[in-house]
Amino acid sequence: MNMPCIKALFFSLLFTCSLKVLGQSNFVGTGETGFTLKHRVSKKYSMAFLIRNRYMLYKDRNFEYDNRQLHFIHFSTYNFNYTHSLSLGLDYRNQELFEIGVNEFRITEQFNYIKQKLGVRYGHRVRAEQRFIENQTFYRQRYRFAVDFPVNGEKLDIGEAYLIFSTEALWSVSKTLKPFFEQRLTSQIGWQLLESLKLQIGLDYRLEAFNIASIHNLFVLTSAILKI
């Protein structure tokens, strides 16, 4: 399958999912804006700081804007080489500020494998998360497969655009609740504005708890990534 076919396939799939869930009574539309600050401390060690704001856009067949939560995230990454890395992440989620829920603290262990061929990067990411919410602990396992590539040519130059497609499966368990599963499909376009700055926008379709009572959630994603 050539590159134009791959692009068309992913866009068509996400667009079809978006149209389908709009007609569902259990559909939710959510926005998420993020800013990421990255710094390579040495050849082997790098770290990232992220701030994300999540807000409601559509619920119960009505459009609305309602702030939901703030995330403050840190990741430390050890790079064995270009293709293999291990990361440890800490995530604090605040919902009490908006009086809609309780706060959460999360620990994430991550393994990342990247392979590049003819300008296309293929990424495999495995995560294990421990989510601490009040007196409960949730254990979530995640696997993501992602593909990204420049829109023009095999090398991304300053001022050019790139595309990212990914699919991710999630499984959550706890002592008090039945295990539940989630599937995510994401499509984004980004721009390399400067050597150190990228901007990205896209859509993220999530089929949540589909083994219990399916919830269709479509995220509108906007983000900026700055390297210092």
Q: How is the chain split into domains, by residue range?
A: 1-99+188-228
pTM (two decimals): 0.88
Tokens linked to 21 = 């869930």
Instruction: Judge residue 194's burial from the number of C-beta atoms within 10 Å of its C-beta, 0-12 exposed, 13-18 middle, 19 or more buried.
Output: exposed
* Measured CA distances, 104 to 58, 65, 87, 90 (Å): 24, 23, 20, 11
Helix (H, G, I), strand (E, B) or coil at 155: coil
pLDDT tens digits for the chain (228 residues)?
Answer: 455 545 554 555 555 555 555 555 578 899 999 999 999 999 999 999 999 999 999 887 788 899 999 999 999 999 999 899 999 999 999 999 998 899 999 999 999 999 999 889 999 999 999 999 998 999 999 999 999 999 998 889 999 999 999 999 999 999 888 999 999 999 999 999 999 999 999 999 999 988 988 889 999 999 999 999
Residues in the chain: 228
Beta strands in 178-214 (DSSP E): 180-194, 197-208
Tell how many helices (H) and how many strands (E) occur in the chain: 1, 11
- Picking from 94, 89, 168, the residue whose alpha carbon sits closest to that of residue 129 is 89
